[in-house]
Amino acid sequence: MKKILFIIMSVCALFTACKIDEPDKDLHRVVFDPGNLKFISTSLNTKKETSSALYGNQKALESLSSKNNQLKMGSEIKLVTWKYHENPQYIGGTITGELLRVETIKTDKNGKTSYQIQNTPGTENFQPNKEERIKYIMSYKPVVRP
């Protein structure tokens, strides 16, 4: 009798332990490929629940590291912004979710700076002042790695 009871309890435990829970099945995570650009810095906006990562080439890194905040010729910077969500696997953690926009700043050989924004569907209403956005993006300071 004890063996039958043990087998029944084991089977019940097996079926309850194998419940598959997919809390993030509605989230659409996008991995951004920066190409030849390197990671420079990151930021988090808790009010808007967004996280951003700044990527750039070597000239952009040198420009952001200098004190005058002037882009060198040939600089390329991309600020990538995602909506973030609670991480279902770790309490108190967050993960990136939907890609909201990619903002690109480039400086040509003549020193002319251009700003371009790529909004994802559903976020087309984000049309910022170009000069303010350039100034904001240039305020990022590179992460210092030991």
- Yes or no: say if 37 and 58 are a contact pair by the CB < 8 Å rule: no
Amino acid at 33: D
SS3 content of the chain, % helix, strand, coil (to 5): 25, 30, 45
- Yes or no: say if 50 and 100 are a contact pair by the CB < 8 Å rule: yes
3-state secondary structure of 108: coil
139: tokens are 């305020």
- Yes or no: say if 51 and 94 are a contact pair by the CB < 8 Å rule: yes
79-103: per-residue pLDDT in tens? 999 888 777 777 877 777 788 889 9
131-143: per-residue pLDDT in tens? 888 888 888 888 8
Q: Which of 120, 103, 29, 14 is nearest to 60 (CA)?
A: 103
- Identify any residues that bridge with 80 across adjacent strands, giving them in sequence order: 53, 102
- Yes or no: say if 97 and 27 are a contact pair by the CB < 8 Å rule: yes
Split the chain (146 residues) into runs of 10 and give each run's mean pLDDT. 71 60 56 87 88 91 83 90 81 79 90 85 71 88 81
Predicted TM-score (pTM) of the model is: 0.73
Domain ranges of the chain: 23-138
